[in-house]
Structure 1
Amino acid sequence: MSAPDRPRRLRTRALRTGAVAAVLVGVGVPAAVAVQGSTPTGSVAQATVKVDVGTDRSCSGALVAPAWVVTAKSCFTTGGVAVVQGAPKVSTKATVGRVDLTGTAGRVVTVDLLVPHADRDVVLARLSTPVTDVTPVKIASAAPVVGQELTVTGYGRTATQLVPDTAHAATYTVAAVATGTVALRAQGAGATICKGDAGGPTLRATTGGVELVAIHHTAYQGGCLGATTTRQDATDTRLDVLRTWITGITDPAPVVWHVKHVYTVNGGQVWEAASDNGWRSLNSAITTSGPVAVLAVGGVKYVYTVNGGRVYEAASNNGWKNLDTGITTSGALAVIAMNGVKYVYTVNGGQVWEAASNNGWRNLNSGISTSGPLAVMATGGVKYVYTVNGGQVWEAASNNGWRSASSGIPTSGALAVTAMNGVKYVYTVIGGQVHEAASNNGWKVQNSTVTTSGPVAAMAFDGVKYVYTVNGGQVWEAASNNGWKNLSSGVSTSGPLAVLDLETVTR
């Protein structure tokens, strides 16, 4: 008695007779073989990838990110040995954006890394060079539904061709949905999933194109070249339930880290110390006869100094070569960056002037008056200037025509500002101690008890505020998450002080 029909995995072996659903890996052929049906076009074609594993095996797949193809893990299984993360054991190439294999459209890219799923017949194949001219298909977020029409594609064999030159597409209907798989039923006699289609996409139409619901796992292969059964149903591996795993690899969350930089003046030159080098102070050789201010744009650090009554700019990407901006100043100096534009604030004739890098550093009078120090910040797309008049801190904003209003914050010395989570913080010195006032508490002044005998600087990131002061010729750091405990950085200074948070983002 013959065995009843049941699906078979598409493993690496010669095609056997009998009505058993087979593993869909194409074996013993030099190129791919395809789903029997029509030639895919548009977004369906864009989603379909051919995967050649060595010289004697081929599968199908889907481009899910510029550098990633998802396909069946069984395509890479040999001799029962499990697929492990790493480079493929044999040379593997992916053909992307080329439905007709005899043409020149799209790209053929080497696969340099495999990331298998632990439990499912799924592997992510990384391309050595990202494909930027073919749109990746999005992974479905919702489960398939019984009765739903789906489009299956692949480069597997057809009823008449072992090695067809084109991909093919056919319409299937969802017959049943399980936890990790979806059962499919062909809509027509000419639709079938064959060897070489393993890992190929099963797609659902959306208002914007298609989304990837599953990839081919097993099929009866009725109607395929060499098959004896007439059954055409198949079982695919669902990807909607693996969406988080896939996107976590193909589009990982950005990694952000911060390096704190402190700039001081010793011997008329600017020195730089960073938190990632143990605050070892290095001479930048930038000369200055007055205040110092710093900012960063696009990963480049900029130091601003005053020489001969003019502001000079030096950048970390030009060897700290000091260049004259032509901006004149007779007093304080402050800088900020917003939307890629650098802004320099100076004092001339008791008023604050603003110059921007996108207007050739043309110095414009803001009309803000000041009799003391100067500090600036940018938050929420608005620039804020803080000055001291009559022993109180005044605030002016770029979105109110620089109208200066008293915050009521008293100060008898230095001034520093920073912003965090939309809240503005002002730091002043009263009685030799740093006081903090915040915009979300009506500028109520609170004593941090951080002592200082000189200038003050501040920065904030990751929910922590940092205050820098000078005591005994050294820079001290206090943080809001340690109760403002003041710790010596060991950085020495004989003059001005400026600080910078350099943020780096990677994936």
Structure 2
Amino acid sequence: MARRTTSKVVAGAVALAAIGIGVVAAQPAGAVANGVQVNDGIFPFAVKFLMTDIPKPDGSKYDSACSGALIDRQWVITAGHCFHDVNRKPVSGPVPYKTKAIIGRVDDADTGKGAERSVVEVQQSPKNDVSIAKLDQPIDDIKPIPLREAGPRKDETLVLAGWGQETPDATGPAKHLRLGIVKVHDVQDVVANVTGYWPKPDTSACPTDSGAPYFEQQPDDSRLVSLESGGPTCPHAGPERTSRVDVIADWIHEKIGE
């Protein structure tokens, strides 16, 4: 594939927004901080995880959420730290607490759209903050997002789509999927740091965006590049850490049986 300039990538992404293919008209900041709402039917591979009764060391429990993507009929991908034990150590094996995955729905109110599945098994990446999770039943009517074989490139622009909280101190995830465009700041062995690009320089991930996909977007084609891992309080204009998927692609294919 020929390498495109950053300006062309951004122009294409902004054009998608302008003609209403990818987003609704600009909305107030929230979820993906200073992002915009996604139109119905766009990015159906995006996943919202709802976790309930997560145990704490003191014996109490709490609920949480993460974001992710469908990568196979029966497997989804997210941040490794989304599945952990009572001491917040990432774990593999049976799902450590009740987790529901909602796939192919951009708004919580559209309960008749998309699919809902229970997560039954989790596997942690051996290299970075990534986990893959098995669904209790396969999904046959939603196209998974393929992994991009090539790693991220400095100054490349990527789309972020997530269910992050409306504000850093909110008590739950967003009710509508949102997106923003980021630029790759630097690339390291197993991570890539990104910074906000569109619609604002401080467009960035928020809490419960953990595991949200960063992907290359071309007409009718998305390729997963990395996943949200962590960063400063949102919104911010500094680097945000993402976990590369190209460095664990072989491990992923082995685990899901491709």
Give the TM-score band, short-chain normalised. 0.7 to 0.9
User: Is 1:184 matched up with 2:205?
Assistant: no
User: Is 1:51 matched up with 2:49?
Assistant: yes
- CA shift, 1:35, in A, is 1.4
Secondary structure, in 3 states, of the residue corresponding to 1:144? coil
* One of 215, 223, 230 as aligned partner of 1:218: 230
Question: Which residue number corresponds to residue 161 of structure 2?
Answer: 153
Alignment length, in residue pairs?
214
- CA shift, 1:109, in A, is 0.4
Instruction: Report if aligned partners of 1:176, 1:182 keep a CA contact under 8 Å in 2.
Output: yes
Question: Which residue number corresponds to residue 93 of structure 1?
Answer: 100
Output the CA distance in 1 between the equivalents of 2:37 and 2:140: 23
Question: Which residue number corresponds to residue 221 of structure 2?
Answer: 209
% identity of equivalent residues: 25
In structure 2, stretches of 5+ residues that fail to align are 1-29, 54-62
Question: Which residue number corresponds to residue 83 of structure 2?
Answer: 76
* One of 116, 121, 129 as aligned partner of 1:108: 116
Q: CA 1:240–1:41 in structure 2 vs 1: closer, same or farther (change >3 Å)?
A: farther
Instruction: Report if aligned partners of 1:191, 1:232 keep a CA contact under 8 Å in 2.
Output: no
* One of 228, 234, 241 as aligned partner of 2:240: 234
Name the amino acid aligned to 2:147: I
Question: Which residue number corresponds to residue 126 of structure 1?
Answer: 134
Residue deviations 1:155-197, cap 9 Å, x none? 0113498342111100000110111001101011461210000
- CA shift, 1:79, in A, is 3.7
Instruction: Report if aligned partners of 1:220, 1:231 keep a CA contact under 8 Å in 2.
Output: no
Residue deviations 1:103-133, cap 9 Å, x none? 1210110001111112321111100011111
Instruction: Report if aligned partners of 2:195, 2:204 keep a CA contact under 8 Å in 1.
Output: no
Name the amino acid aligned to 1:243: A
Question: Counterparts of 1:25-424 in structure 2 under 5 Å?
Answer: 34-36=31-33, 37-41=35-39, 45-55=43-53, 56-80=63-87, 82-104=89-111, 105-159=113-167, 162=170, 163=172, 164-187=174-197, 188-189=200-201, 191-206=203-218, 208-223=220-235, 230-252=236-258
Question: Which residue number corresponds to residue 21 of structure 2?
Answer: none
- CA shift, 1:222, in A, is 3.0
**Which has the greater radius of gyration?**
1
Output the CA distance in 2 between the equivalents of 1:203 and 1:64: 12
Q: CA 1:137–1:44 in structure 2 vs 1: closer, same or farther (change >3 Å)?
A: farther
Residue deviations 1:388-408, cap 9 Å, x none? xxxxxxxxxxxxxxxxxxxxx
Residue deviations 1:289-341, cap 9 Å, x none? xxxxxxxxxxxxxxxxxxxxxxxxxxxxxxxxxxxxxxxxxxxxxxxxxxxxx
Output the CA distance in 2 between the equivalents of 1:93 and 1:136: 18
Q: CA 1:157–1:140 in structure 2 vs 1: closer, same or farther (change >3 Å)?
A: same
Instruction: Report if aligned partners of 1:44, 1:203 keep a CA contact under 8 Å in 2.
Output: no
Instruction: Report if aligned partners of 1:53, 1:76 keep a CA contact under 8 Å in 2.
Output: no
Name the amino acid aligned to 1:180: V
Name the amino acid aligned to 1:211: R
Instruction: Report if aligned partners of 1:72, 1:216 keep a CA contact under 8 Å in 2.
Output: yes
Q: Determine which structure has greater relative contact order: mean sequence separation of CA pairs < 8 Å that are 6+ residues apart, divided by chain length.
A: 2
Q: CA 1:40–1:89 in structure 2 vs 1: closer, same or farther (change >3 Å)?
A: same
Structure 2 length-normalised TM:
0.77
Question: Which residue number corresponds to residue 7 of structure 1?
Answer: none
What value does the CA root-mean-square deviation take over the aligned residues?
2.1
Output the CA distance in 2 between the equivalents of 1:42 and 1:211: 20
Output the CA distance in 1 between the equivalents of 2:237 and 2:256: 36
Name the amino acid aligned to 1:219: G
Output the CA distance in 2 between the equivalents of 1:242 and 1:212: 12
Secondary structure, in 3 states, of the residue corresponding to 1:243? helix
Output the CA distance in 1 between the equivalents of 2:142 and 2:195: 30
- CA shift, 1:60, in A, is 0.5
Residue deviations 1:442-472, cap 9 Å, x none? xxxxxxxxxxxxxxxxxxxxxxxxxxxxxxx
